[in-house]
């Protein structure tokens, strides 16, 4: 389980006989340039499907490449061989009372549409924006001056838990940025000026001090008093993508100094500005007694279904029974639960900290035992499991390439250090076929082991767009030393290194790619020294930097020209990009 408080670099296309090696040595804040074999000669807007009907979107599992039927054990347990590894995954489906459902086959399919259809309202409403986890930015950004400036700050607090100090906003800790419908703003009782302003955007930010802050993106002023929970949020919340005034967010810690409390996943009514529902993380049906929820939920609007992987080792499928009446100014939920419980030969830690991605009815996440797990959102059967060799906490980013999903992921230096005594080792970055679980290419870079602050990939990768649509970007921690990190651009088709930048200070914060109003792409990434970099994603070089106070561990989000992020300085920052 991850906590925060000269490298060998290689890229290989799996199945090919040639290993491409980047041999040049690098020093802190140096950039080594590689190759761009698929650099776009022209940019175009990708096509999107508007289909949202789950019955039309759902894939028939038996039609997937290489599909074989699962083996039934007779007691409601099923098994399937691991992908390209010995052993098998076993699983069972539980109801809300933890009774095994022997043949769970609901009549209503659950399937997500194209990522562009995830939300009906403008904004960044879940971690990385949608079910592909590829949109931490909403809209275009005017980057004419190539500068960043702090416009406002909001003070927050801290907690002491797990023999450590947790402050401000932690991993993954991304803010939610919401341009509400006028009727929803009226129902929530916002000011008349905010109700009438079509450009008003609200920042919803659950953070480590146990408060949910609600702020005006433009000014940083509080739109409502903070919702006081008292127990830390480490992960990212989710706003209901239908525009319902509902916030979903789980606890990250159940300790604050000498006090401890029950683990809980929480559902908040943003009209009443309080918690109205949820469930216990200390689930008797779970394989692990650690009830935290760092994963940011996805809500399938068409079926009123929330999917939330948990650190207790279960994946929760929740029929919300949500209703919203903007005229009566009421919103409600009445959750019904179904749960997936799975095991692999490596399942000793259990639990998912990453946020699940979804392609139609196929869902994907990395777990604490180093598995990439694919399951069917409808039946909750495990489709495939791909072992990576170490803890995998960074969320997957998904690419739809002409009807085939591909996953970009990477692991960290954790289990091999804690269980096997290794001081360092290779972190494996991979592109994986989402239908089969097989590796397309992989890239390795050496990372240092640290028990409290893991080295390797903790930041979620980001796909390039426009002029850098051939690239995928990774922010990798503790490469070469306990202090330094690597910002890396790889070719999406081959894994070839386009450029590699050795940073003086590592980062867990996920990078962003902005689309400028000038048509160019711009990158933003934060590091553990509190430095925010605005960089050229074509080369890796900075245009400018902005020094914030203390470690930027949380991941930022952007709406237009405004970026929001929290740091360990117990502050939330509103930053204008210009």
Query: Is 251 inside any structural domain?
Result: yes
**Residue 19: what pLDDT?**
32
What is the sign, positive or negative, of the torsion defined by CA atoms of 225, 332, 113, 386?
positive
User: What pLDDT, in 10s, does the model give residues 230-248?
Assistant: 999 999 999 999 999 999 9
User: What pLDDT, in 10s, does the model give residues 359-395?
Assistant: 999 999 999 999 999 999 999 999 999 999 999 999 9
**Residue 46: what pLDDT?**
78
Query: Is 1 inside any structural domain?
Result: no
Strand-pair category, 264-269 with 246-250: antiparallel
Query: Is 2 inside any structural domain?
Result: no
**Residue 26: what pLDDT?**
54
Task: Measure the CA–CA gap between 252 and 249, rounded to whole angstroms.
Answer: 9
Contact 281/350 with Cβ under 8 angstroms?
Answer: no
Query: Is 518 inside any structural domain?
Result: yes
Buried/exposed 312-339: b ≥16 CB within 10 Å, e otherwise:
bbbbbbbbbebebebeebebbbebebbb
Task: Measure the CA–CA gap between 383 and 367, rounded to whole angstroms.
Answer: 15
Candidates 387, 388, 391; CA nearest to 350 is: 391
Query: Is 48 inside any structural domain?
Result: no
- Mean pLDDT, to the nearest integer, of 75-103? 97
**Residue 22: what pLDDT?**
37
**Residue 3: what pLDDT?**
46
Q: What is the H or E stretch that residue 193 is in?
A: helix 192-196
Candidates 266, 381, 287, 361; CA nearest to 98 is: 287
**Residue 282: what pLDDT?**
97
Partner residues linked to 413 by β-bridges: 455
User: What's the distance, CA 562 to chain centroid?
Assistant: 20
Query: Is 420 inside any structural domain?
Result: yes
User: What pLDDT, in 10s, does the model give residues 124-165?
Assistant: 999 999 999 999 999 999 999 999 999 999 999 999 999 899
What is the sign, positive or negative, of the torsion defined by CA atoms of 374, 319, 237, 451?
negative
Mean pLDDT of the chain: 94
Task: Measure the CA–CA gap between 360 and 110, rounded to whole angstroms.
Answer: 8
Contact 385/412 with Cβ under 8 angstroms?
Answer: no
Strand-pair category, 305-309 with 314-319: antiparallel
DSSP codes, 227-267: EE--S---S--EE-TTS-SEEEEE-S-SEETTEE---EEEE
**Residue 18: what pLDDT?**
29
Name the DSSP class of 297: P
Task: Measure the CA–CA gap between 357 and 349, rounded to whole angstroms.
Answer: 21
- Mean pLDDT, to the nearest integer, of 78-95? 97
- Mean pLDDT, to the nearest integer, of 299-318? 98
User: What pLDDT, in 10s, does the model give residues 529-573?
Assistant: 999 999 999 999 999 999 999 999 999 999 999 999 999 999 999
Partner residues linked to 161 by β-bridges: 164
**Residue 43: what pLDDT?**
75
3-state helix/strand/coil string of 99-136: CECCCCCCCCCCCECCHHHCCCCCEECCCCCCCCCCCC
Query: Is 523 inside any structural domain?
Result: yes
- Domain count of the chain? 1
Strand-pair category, 557-559 with 137-138: parallel
Full-model pTM: 0.95
Residue-range definition of the domain harbouring residue 139: 9-24+64-577
Name the DSSP class of 302: G
Task: Measure the CA–CA gap between 560 and 180, rounded to whole angstroms.
Answer: 15
**Residue 28: what pLDDT?**
75
Buried/exposed 547-568: b ≥16 CB within 10 Å, e otherwise:
ebeebbbbbbbbbbbbbbbbbb
User: What pLDDT, in 10s, does the model give residues 21-48?
Assistant: 333 345 678 999 999 999 998 777 778 9
- With a CB cutoff of 8 Å and minimum separation 6, the contacts of 247 are 176, 204, 206, 212, 237, 238, 239, 240, 267, 268, 270
Burial class (CB in 10 A: 0-12, 13-18, 19+), 397: buried
Residue keyed to tokens 């999107």: 48
More confident residue, 262 or 44: 262
Residue 388 is part of a domain; what is its CATH number?
Answer: 2.130.10.10
- Mean pLDDT, to the nearest integer, of 417-431? 95
Query: Is 33 inside any structural domain?
Result: no
Confidence of residue 67 (pLDDT cuts 50, 70, 90): very high
**Residue 98: what pLDDT?**
98
Residue keyed to tokens 């591909």: 406
**Residue 7: what pLDDT?**
31
């Amino acid at each position: 389980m991850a906590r925060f408080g000269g490298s060998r670099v290689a890229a290989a296309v799996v199945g090919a006989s040639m290993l491409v090696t980047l041999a040049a040595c690098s020093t802190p804040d140096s950039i080594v340039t590689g190759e761009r074999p698929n650099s776009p000669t022209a940019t175009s807007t990708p096509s999107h499907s508007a289909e949202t009907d789950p019955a039309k979107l759902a894939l028939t599992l038996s039609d997937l490449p290489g599909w074989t039927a699962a083996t039934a054990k007779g007691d409601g347990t099923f098994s399937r061989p691991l992908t390209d590894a010995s052993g098998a995954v076993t699983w069972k489906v539980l109801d809300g009372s933890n009774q095994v459902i022997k043949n769970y086959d609901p009549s209503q399919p659950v399937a997500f549409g194209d990522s562009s259809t995830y939300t009906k309202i403008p904004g960044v409403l879940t971690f990385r924006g949608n079910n592909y986890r590829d949109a931490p930015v909403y809209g275009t950004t005017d980057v004419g001056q190539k500068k960043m400036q702090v416009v406002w700050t909001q003070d927050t607090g801290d907690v002491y838990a797990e023999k450590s100090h947790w402050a401000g906003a932690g991993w993954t800790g991304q803010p939610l940025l919401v341009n509400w419908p006028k009727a929803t703003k009226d129902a929530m009782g916002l000011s008349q000026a905010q109700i009438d302003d079509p450009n008003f955007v609200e920042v919803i930010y659950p953070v480590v001090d146990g408060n949910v802050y609600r702020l005006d993106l433009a000014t940083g002023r509080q739109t409502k008093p903070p919702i006081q929970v008292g127990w830390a949020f480490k992960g990212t919340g989710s706003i209901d993508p239908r525009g319902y005034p509902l916030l979903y967010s789980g606890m990250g810690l159940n300790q604050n100094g000498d006090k401890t409390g029950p683990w809980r996943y929480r559902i908040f009514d943003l009209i009443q500005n309080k918690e109205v529902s949820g469930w216990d993380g200390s689930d008797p049906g779970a394989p692990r007694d650690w009830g935290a929820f760092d994963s940011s939920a996805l809500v399938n609007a068409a079926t009123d279904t929330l999917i939330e992987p948990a650190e207790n080792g279960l994946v929760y499928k929740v029929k919300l029974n949500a209703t919203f009446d903007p005229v009566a100014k009421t919103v409600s939920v009445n959750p019904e639960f179904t749960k997936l419980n799975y095991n692999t030969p490596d399942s000793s830690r259990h639990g998912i900290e990453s946020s699940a991605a979804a392609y139609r009815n196929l869902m994907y996440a990395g777990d604490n035992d180093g598995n990439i797990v694919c399951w069917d959102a409808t039946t909750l059967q495990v489709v495939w499991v791909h072992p990576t060799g170490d803890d995998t906490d960074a969320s997957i980013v998904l690419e739809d390439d002409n009807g085939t999903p591909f996953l970009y992921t990477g692991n960290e230096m954790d289990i091999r250090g804690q269980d096997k005594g290794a001081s360092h080792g290779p972190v494996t970055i991979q592109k994986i076929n989402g239908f089969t679980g097989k590796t397309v290419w992989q890239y390795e870079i050496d990372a240092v082991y640290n028990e409290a602050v893991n080295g390797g990939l903790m930041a979620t990768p980001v796909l390039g767009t426009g002029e850098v649509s051939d690239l995928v970007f990774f922010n990798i921690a503790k490469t070469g030393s306990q202090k330094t990190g690597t910002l890396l651009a790889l070719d999406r088709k081959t894994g070839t290194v386009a450029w590699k930048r050795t940073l003086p200070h590592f980062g867990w914060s996920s990078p962003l790619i902005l689309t400028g109003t000038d048509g160019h792409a711009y990158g933003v990434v934060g590091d553990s020294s509190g430095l925010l970099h605005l960089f050229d994603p074509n080369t890796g070089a900075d245009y400018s930097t902005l020094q914030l106070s203390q470690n930027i561990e949380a991941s930022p989000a952007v709406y237009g020209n405004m970026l929001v992020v929290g740091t360990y300085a117990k502050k939330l920052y509103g930053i204008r990009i210009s």
